[in-house]
A = this chain, B = another copy of it.
């Protein structure tokens, strides 16, 4: 109700003011702030007060104080110079992340795979063959395949990441998008690519496994792009999904 006139503490006010400047981006990351003595004069407070405010910001991670050198704004968030912000992750971005991670996983999986792992992959492929017409089932089996490949490495952290990355495809947005380009033929093609991956892993050929996974994800991107080409005029597809599609 009466919100006590908090923050009578001057150094808190100074810290708040500077923090908002940094958060608002008016102080570029990496740039140097004026010297303590100068700040004190400009803000009309004493140097100890300035120092106390700066210590607050340093503990909070906003600035970096270097003895004898100066005070610098921390580069906490990636500059993202030309790659624009926007916290939305489109399917292209997801595919790029998968290309980086899953290729490495396939490579490693080929080194560690044992007959039991191959058998499980074969089982997955067999079920996939009977589910090409059922979008939901096909999608679930696709996810299962990639998680199984990751599972060969037997690393919880990686497994969770691969799982979560595929879970993003289960959101309403992606499902609507998927309806534009997923069909029996695309799932059949994906399954064939899965088979190539499976063969490379079974052969214990890391390079081939990596290449096969790369080819699979590249093809997925091509299928996705093609669908955009056909439907491009359809405004139901957010424009943001098209950017950052690069290689």
Q: Which positions in A face B, CB cutoff 8 Å?
A: 8-9, 11, 29-30, 48, 51-52, 55-56, 59-61, 64, 66-67, 72, 75-76, 78-81, 83, 87, 89, 93-94, 96-97, 100-101, 103-105, 108, 114, 116-117, 119-120, 123-124, 127, 130, 140, 144, 147-148, 151, 153-159, 161, 165, 168, 244
Contacts and interface: CB of A to CB of B under 8 A. Distances in A.
Nearest to A150: B78
A240 to B, nearest CB: 12
Contact of A104 (B29, B94, B100, B244): B100
A59 B59 contact: yes
Nearest to A86: B156
A9 to B, nearest CB: 7
B104 A103 contact: yes
Sorted nearest first, the 8 A-B pairs with minimum C-beta distance are: A78-B151, A83-B154, A97-B157, A104-B104, A59-B59, A97-B158, A100-B104, A97-B155
Nearest to A156: B89
Contacts of A130: 66-67
**Secondary structure at chain A's binding surface: helix, strand, loop or mixed?**
helix
B124 A159 contact: no
Given A48-B48, A59-B60, A130-B66, A79 B158 contact: no
A157 B93 contact: yes
Nearest to A151: B78
A247 to B, nearest CB: 9
A140 B61 contact: yes
A80 B158 contact: no
Q: Which of A9, A144, A157: most chain B Cβ within 10 A?
A: A157
A88 to B, nearest CB: 9
29 contacts: A30-B119, A30-B123, A48-B48, A48-B51, A51-B52, A55-B59, A59-B59, A61-B140, A64-B127, A67-B130, A75-B148, A76-B144, A78-B151, A79-B116, A79-B151, A80-B151, A93-B155, A93-B156, A96-B153, A97-B155, A100-B101, A100-B104, A100-B105, A100-B155, A100-B158, A101-B101, A101-B158, A157-B168, A161-B161
Contacts of A80: 151, 154
A155 B108 CA distance: 23
